[in-house]
């Protein structure tokens, strides 16, 4: 990571993660496709649960992001024992995260769903789905930490295999449990939740095997484990802002659902569908992040200034290309995309202009995402948090609320408005970080970065 030319390095690191993220995006679409076959109420129920599910993923992946940043920096500094200690603490934190969400799933599901709708069918299906995905969340919590631990060492293949294994398992089991095939009873939305957690658990066991028998850099000996609060602090110095940043997305979704449900439950169902569709565009960029972050972190720890800036430039260029292609797709065939989910005429009337409006912000979002990745990799996760708060709470929700006074179609313009403001702020923060943190680094290896 300290000598290879930057573009081939980033691509070799990112492509496995991008492929696994594409499979994950395909899972998101297929999962909602089967749920939509049950009924529009089922799709609405899953859409209402989405913020909680997103919060769960935010905690799992955010903890992993903190691990990734800390481990890659310690490896760059040559502190192997500290890197191994951080990896061991990650496993403990994953268990704590699971216990937290198990309690939420068992006791908070019904009050949460009932706060948004009085539709008894939607409430019951939402409670079933939320309680299962939260109570059985050990798989995703462990998977998030071990996956990021491996990626911090430059190992992108096993994380890719684990994500693909989980997603493919889910895709195969969805119709079996939802509709009752091969002697399995028909379980509807609950079946979709069971398929989801089984895929996550299978991926977790695979990663345990890799960590125990295939990983050579970060050998973890739990018999010698000693808890150190300072390591947890260092993990969450980057991980907590990442968790909050992604959790803000859940809060934003809750707020948007509250705004949209005043028009119609179909608008809420569409918004859930939009998140599944946009994941097909955003997930490859998130996979790119997984390749770029350890490269930035390693070279920052090794004081390779030119390679740090080169990684940011290469990452931004690739992300813009991906997002530009996504914008073209959303403008060209929005009706066909929505038809995947058995969209009614009402949903098509809402969704076609909405997809075209929201997608105008994709390129700006690409740059914002890569700048946030750079902030996290450099150990300045608070900057990412600040941008996320600005984008999704300070600007987007108030703008959506005000535009809702005009009409439903006007609400969607809140997304490009928020993204442009966030991008401007990201550029300002990155330039400040460049002067204060990146420029003082040594210039060894600058020629290699070029």
3-state secondary structure 136-163: CCHHHHHHHHHHHHHHHCCCCHHHHHHH
Q: Which long-range contacts (CB under 8 A, 24 or more apart) does 351-354 make?
A: 351/270, 351/273, 351/274, 353/409, 353/412, 354/270, 354/274, 354/409, 354/412
Instruction: Return the higher-pLDDT residue of 219 and 448.
Output: 219
Q: Please say whether the beta carbons of 125 and 187 come within 8 A.
A: no
| d(C-alpha 195, C-alpha 227), whole Å | 35
End-to-end CA distance of the chain: 14
pLDDT category of residue 450 using cuts at 50, 70 and 90: very low
In this prediction, residues 440-446 reach a mean pLDDT of 54
Which DSSP helix (H) or strand (E) runs through 129? helix 120-135
pLDDT category of residue 441 using cuts at 50, 70 and 90: low
Residue 397 in domain: yes
pLDDT one-digit tens code per residue, 119-150: 899 999 999 999 999 999 999 999 999 998 88
pLDDT one-digit tens code per residue, 378-393: 877 788 888 888 888 8
CA angle 410, 413, 418 (to 5 degrees): 145
Domain membership of residue 178 as a residue range: 6-449
pLDDT one-digit tens code per residue, 407-421: 999 999 999 999 999
pLDDT one-digit tens code per residue, 4-56: 888 888 888 888 778 877 777 777 777 788 888 888 889 889 888 988 988 89
Which residues contact residue 352 at a Cβ distance below 8 angstroms, ignoring those fewer than 6 apart? 334, 335, 338
Which residues contact residue 209 at a Cβ distance below 8 angstroms, ignoring those fewer than 6 apart? none
Answer positive or negative: Cα dihedral of 164, 170, 175, 176. positive
pLDDT one-digit tens code per residue, 318-349: 999 999 999 999 999 999 999 988 888 999 99
Q: How much of the chain, in percent, has pLDDT values that exceed 90?
A: 43
In the chain, the number of structural domains is 1
- Note if the pTM is more than 0.85: no
In sequence order, what DSSP letters do the residues of 200-211 get, joined into one string?
Answer: HHHHHHHHHHHH
Which range scores top for mean pLDDT: 41-45, 184-188, 409-413, 431-435? 409-413
If you count them, how many residues does the chain have? 450
Residue 398 in domain: yes
Residue 1 in domain: no
Residue 117 in domain: yes
> 282: which 2 tokens?
């955003």
Return the pLDDT at 446. Answer: 43
pLDDT at residue 205 above 90? Answer: yes
Return the pLDDT at 442. Answer: 59
pLDDT at residue 448 above 60? Answer: no
Return the pLDDT at 182. Answer: 75
Across the chain, what does the average pLDDT equal?
A: 87
Q: Please say whether the beta carbons of 441 and 308 come within 8 A.
A: yes
């Amino acid at each position: 990571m300290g000598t290879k030319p930057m573009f081939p390095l980033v691509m070799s690191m990112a492509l496995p993660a991008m492929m696994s993220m594409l499979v994950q995006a395909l899972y998101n679409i297929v999962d909602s496709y089967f749920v939509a076959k049950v009924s529009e109420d089922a799709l609405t129920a899953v859409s209402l649960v989405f913020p909680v599910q997103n919060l769960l993923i935010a905690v799992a992946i955010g903890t992993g992001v903190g691990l990734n940043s800390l481990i890659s920096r310690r490896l760059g500094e040559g502190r192997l024992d500290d890197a191994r200690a951080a990896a061991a603490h990650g496993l403990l934190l994953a268990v704590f995260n699971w216990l937290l969400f198990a309690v939420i799933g068992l006791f908070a599901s019904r009050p949460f769903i009932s706060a948004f709708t009085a539709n008894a069918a939607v409430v019951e299906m939402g409670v079933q789905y939320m309680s299962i995905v939260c109570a059985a969340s050990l798989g995703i919590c462990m998977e998030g930490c071990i996956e990021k631990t491996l990626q911090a060492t430059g190992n992108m293949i096993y994380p890719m295999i684990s994500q693909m294994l989980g997603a493919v398992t889910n895709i195969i089991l969805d119709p079996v449990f939802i509709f009752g095939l091969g002697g399995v009873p028909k379980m509807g939305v609950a079946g979709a939740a069971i398929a989801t957690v089984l895929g996550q658990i299978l991926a977790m066991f695979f990663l345990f095997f890799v960590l125990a028998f295939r990983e050579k850099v970060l050998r973890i000996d739990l018999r010698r484990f000693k808890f150190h609060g300072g390591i947890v602090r260092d993990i969450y110095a980057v991980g907590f802002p990442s968790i909050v940043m992604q959790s803000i997305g859940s809060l934003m979704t809750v707020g948007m659902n509250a705004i949209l449900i005043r028009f119609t439950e179909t608008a809420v169902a569409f918004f859930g569908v939009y998140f599944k569709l946009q994941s097909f565009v955003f997930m490859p960029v998130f996979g790119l992040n997984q390749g770029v972050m350890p490269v930035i972190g390693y070279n920052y720890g090794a004081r390779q200034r030119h390679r740090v800036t080169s990684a940011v430039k290469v990452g931004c260029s690739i992300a813009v290309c991906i997002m530009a292609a996504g914008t073209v797709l959303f403008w060209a065939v929005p009706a066909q995309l929505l038809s995947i989910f058995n969209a009614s005429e009402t949903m098509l009337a809402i969704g076609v202009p909405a997809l075209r409006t929201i997608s105008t912000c994709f390129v700006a979002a690409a740059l914002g995402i890569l700048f946030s990745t750079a902030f996290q990799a450099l150990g300045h996760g608070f900057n990412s948090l600040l941008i996320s708060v600005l984008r999704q709470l300070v600007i987007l929700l108030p703008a959506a609320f005000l535009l809702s006074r005009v009409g439903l179609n006007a609400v969607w313009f809140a997304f490009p408005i928020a993204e442009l403001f966030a991008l401007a702020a990201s550029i300002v923060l990155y330039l400040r970080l460049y002067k204060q943190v990146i420029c003082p680094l040594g210039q060894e290896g600058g020629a290699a970065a070029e």
